[in-house]
Structure 1
Amino acid sequence: MISLREVLDSDLPVFWGHLSDPEAQHVAAVTRKYHYDREHFDSHWARIRSNPDVLMRTVLAGDEVVGHAAVYGPPDEREVTYWIDRKHWGRGIATAALTALVDLVSVRPLRAHSAADNTGSIRVLEKCGFVITGQGRGFGQARGGEIDEVLLTLS
């Protein structure tokens, strides 16, 4: 059973393990300093956990912490993001978690960005009702250069 709950302090070391996985970083492509440096990670999480405009949830498979999902941004530009531990990919966890997350938020549209070649993430977003509404280029830090990206929107 997949569920969401508030983020606990004890989740953070687990999240660090998920986010610092080089293979998962490569697939996600667009990473930030907090994916590579524990001090930045701790600072980032302290900031977002204290921000009332961020809806952040821990993703559980049974009792196991398997990832996190969030909605953030100004009311007219809300975005979703999620990260599931690589060893749990392909099991429907991301789709179940994202479905539960968007059910918690009444604001529409919601947006998401993905590397254009991250077919798994795009498929998850589409299963949750998102449609591709734009394309662009962005810097994929995990890949050391610019990548093609897609913008997806849930109306």
Structure 2
Amino acid sequence: MTITLREVETADLDQFFRFQQDADAAHMAGFAPTNPKDRSIFDLHWSGLLNHDKSLVRTIDVDGVPAGSIAAFHATDQDPAEIMFWTDKQFWGQGVTTQAFDQFLQEFTTRPVQARVVEDNHGSLKILESRGFEEVGEESVFSNARAAVVKEKVLQLG
């Protein structure tokens, strides 16, 4: 299995939208738009990511197939960059996200960098903590995917 990161191609967005429809994955991530089936909201979100001059966005590619995405962006000029990642469920537990994350950290060297993870997303927490991210806060946020308030850990790599 060959795992690489590459520029996001237009066709990848169709895959990413399909990934977003997976209820189990959305539940694990803890986030989803109010209406995850609304392509216009999805396209607006991705347009903002791809066209922001302080974002780095990559497709996680496994043997020529888009398996997910990873991005770093600045919510505001004052906040540290934030990393987010999503891997299609068929690739969970195979080391794909971990390898992609390591590659991404080599390319995206801005520090500090933060990540936000729902506290029961043990897979994502394990990846972040094993790469040196430390918890710097916790927030209660509403999760559309879960239709409930969840605790989200804020982790940072110095």
Instruction: Report the TM range for the smaller structure's normalisation.
Output: over 0.9
Which of 83, 88, 104 in structure 1 is aligned with 2:86? 83
Task: Give the match for residue 98 of structure 1.
Answer: 101
Which deviates the most, 94-103 or 42-51? 42-51
Task: Give the match for residue 17 of structure 1.
Answer: 18
What RMSD in Å do the two structures reach over aligned CA positions?
A: 1.5
Counterpart amino acid of 2:28? V
Could you list the structure 1 runs, at least 4 aligned residues long, displaced by more than 6 angstroms after superposition.
none
Identical pairs, percent: 32
Which deviates the most, 13-22 or 69-78? 69-78
Task: Give the match for residue 113 of structure 2.
Answer: 110
TM-score calculated relative to the size of structure 1: 0.93
Q: Is the 1:29–1:141 Cα contact (8 Å) retained in structure 2?
A: yes
Q: Is the 1:34–1:44 Cα contact (8 Å) retained in structure 2?
A: no
Return closer, same or farther for 1:98/1:35 CA change in 2, 3 Å cut-off. Answer: farther
Task: Give the match for residue 30 of structure 1.
Answer: 31
1:76 deviation in Å? 4.5
Which deviates the most, 134-143 or 56-65? 134-143
What is the total number of aligned residue pairs between the two structures? 155
Gaps of 5+ in 1: none
Counterpart amino acid of 2:19? H
Counterpart amino acid of 1:135? E
Name the structure with the higher helix share.
Answer: 1
Task: Give the match for residue 57 of structure 1.
Answer: 58
1:34 deviation in Å? 6.9
TM-score calculated relative to the size of structure 2: 0.91
1:125 deviation in Å? 1.1
Counterpart amino acid of 1:22? A
Task: Give the match for residue 147 of structure 1.
Answer: 150
